Structure 1
Amino acid sequence: MRTALIQMSVAADREENIARACAFLREAAARDTDVAVLPEMFCCPYQNHCFRPYGEAANGPAQAALSALAAELGMYVVGGSLPELSEGRVYNTSYVYDRQGREIAKHRKVHLFDIDVAGGQRFRESDTLSPGDQITTFETEFGILGLCICFDLRFEELSRCMCLRGARVIFVPAAFNMTTGPAHWELLFRQRAVDNQCFFVGVSPARDESASYVAYGNSLVTDPWGTVLCRAAGEETILYSDLDLSRVDAVRHQLPILSARRTDLYEVREK
């Protein structure tokens, strides 16, 4: 399964961002990509005061563009995330489209990013955003795949639930910052991959040092052994990674972590 990690710059102009994303998707399709992944808030500056003005309701312009392009290109598109407007609320939402352009998954970020690190970053998504309440997996010809957004990755239970549903690859559109990124980005992706013995794909916006919120970049793929298969730096780029999904079964056979769980003593239960 060829994946394309689109680490794009995000500008103040929403239409420019959508056009840039579409251009990158076309470039990815020309490289025989099966699944292309955009970053968190790919069409909106990562600032609380932008989320509602940049938001869109069901079938809004960004969603329509991604759906149409997925169908035209015959490629799965994991649409990073965008501000979704619904019943007076704003959600940080990722949409997934299949090769026919049909929406096959929708994940609203479950864990909102409310942090205040001494000497580092302070940000409160809950000032503007509402949390989702669903675990998100979806079926493809490659098997079951999973999806979460940024801060969701820090909560092992969510990844484990996707794993127990059969997810062999988990996509994570994310925008770690220059405080949390250097400290935890690679560490978290490698550990979640080892814990759940599946592939993890993390896609960040490119780094913009002039922005009020500076994304870390460093989009990457980790395999079920915890090996980093590819990793960007901070610049705008597309990474490609061919995922050998038989690696999931091989690693699980070598290290029976999932099958050796003591569910008589502890259990992670799906909602």
Structure 2
Amino acid sequence: MASSTTPRPVLKQPVKLACVQLASGSDKTANLEHAADKVREAATTGAKIVVLPECFNSPYGCEHFPSYAETLLPSPPTPSQSPSFHALSAMARDNKVYLIGGSIPEQVNTTTAAADGDDKKTSYYNTSLIFSPTGALLATHRKVHLFDISIPGKITFRESDVLSPGNKLTLVDLPEYGSVAVAICYDVRFPELATIAARKGCFALVYPGAFNLTTGPLHWRLLGQARAVDNQLYVALCSPARDMSAGYHAWGHSLVVDPMAQVMVEAGEREEVVVAELDGDRIEEARKGIPLRDQRRFDVYPDVSQGNVNFEEP
């Protein structure tokens, strides 16, 4: 039974999106300054949506999350609580772009009353901040699915040893263009988030991520194409540049995929800004030619975008 829901317009006008593939070292201040330079470079291409990589302000690794973590709540934080928040806001404002600020480690301190005194707890999240061209915070996404894997002889990694998971899908309204969904790295492996975002009218799925030299060649491009072909929209994956002297070796290869799952642009391993122009006509052509949105059989399986879904309507 086909859905009777009339789809709302997705991408109102063409827009350039840039993925900034950059390397980060141990000096947070230097990382922020370098990111600002590269966002400025991306803006000179005409890009109005700019994406940074996962953990762009610090080295990636469980041992690094606590020492680089910043306090974001209550918002806005002070510059001393979160220099990255204020740096990202300035990058967006100075370049008049929508900035999907990769991700940074976030620290949350809570105190609850207990019988033997107050119970204090510190939690950490992998968090993306999204800013408007005026520098205003539009949305926050905490990584929902934590990167816990073990491939014998290849790689073992457990984010959950340090991080806590987020609990919502993040949809962001960009008034001139439409809405995008933002998730982080390992979230791309879970198609439910992408399906919900597509059915809520997003024109793009944006994933700052840091796949490695084992999972990258296996699945990075494949997953970007899979999410695109499943949902007939644009997908952007933004990686750190590869640094073989670092403790974690990122795959690189930031890319943008179109609604027919064709790779439009792809970086190499080193620092690079890749830019693609997104056009709503390509979304409509894909959906008219292969009308998945009208052929879904909700009499056979449920619509995952309905029911108890935790997200913020853009």
Residues 1:173 and 2:208 aligned together: yes
How many pairs were matched up?
Answer: 271
The CA distance in 2 between the partners of 1:245 and 1:230, in whole Å, is 17
Residues 1:66 and 2:88 aligned together: yes
Q: Which residue of 1 aligns with 2:103?
A: 81
Deviations 1:10-40 (A, max 9, x none): 1111111111100101111222210110000
- Normalising by structure 1, report the TM-score: 0.98
Q: Which residue of 2 aligns with 1:91?
A: 125
Task: Compare 230-239 and 26-35 and name the one that shifted more.
Answer: 26-35
Residues 1:221 and 2:221 aligned together: no
Larger C-alpha radius of gyration, 1 or 2?
2
Residues 1:118 and 2:152 aligned together: yes
Q: Give the counterpart of 1:16 among 30, 35, 38.
A: 30
Q: Which residue of 1 aligns with 2:68?
A: 54
Q: Which residue of 1 aligns with 2:295?
A: 260
Residues 1:230 and 2:289 aligned together: no
Which ranges of structure 2 fall in alignment gaps of 5 or more residues? 1-14, 110-121
Q: Which residue of 1 aligns with 2:57?
A: 43
Letter aligned with residue 54 of structure 1: Y
The CA distance in 1 between the partners of 2:219 and 2:91, in whole Å, is 34
Give 1:69 deviation, angstroms. Answer: 2.1
Deviations 1:131-152 (A, max 9, x none): 0000011111111111110000
Give 1:245 deviation, angstroms. Answer: 2.1
Give 1:242 deviation, angstroms. Answer: 1.0
Q: Which residue of 1 aligns with 2:169?
A: 135
Letter aligned with residue 28 of structure 1: A
- CA RMSD for the aligned pairs? 0.9
The CA distance in 2 between the partners of 1:7 and 1:72, in whole Å, is 20
The CA distance in 2 between the partners of 1:70 and 1:260, in whole Å, is 40
Deviations 1:123-175 (A, max 9, x none): 00001100000001111111111111000000011111111111111110000
The CA distance in 1 between the partners of 2:145 and 2:34, in whole Å, is 28
The CA distance in 2 between the partners of 1:78 and 1:38, in whole Å, is 6
Q: Which residue of 1 aligns with 2:283?
A: 248
Please list every run of at least 4 consecutive aligned residues from structure 1 whose deviation after the TM superposition is greater than 4 angstroms.
none
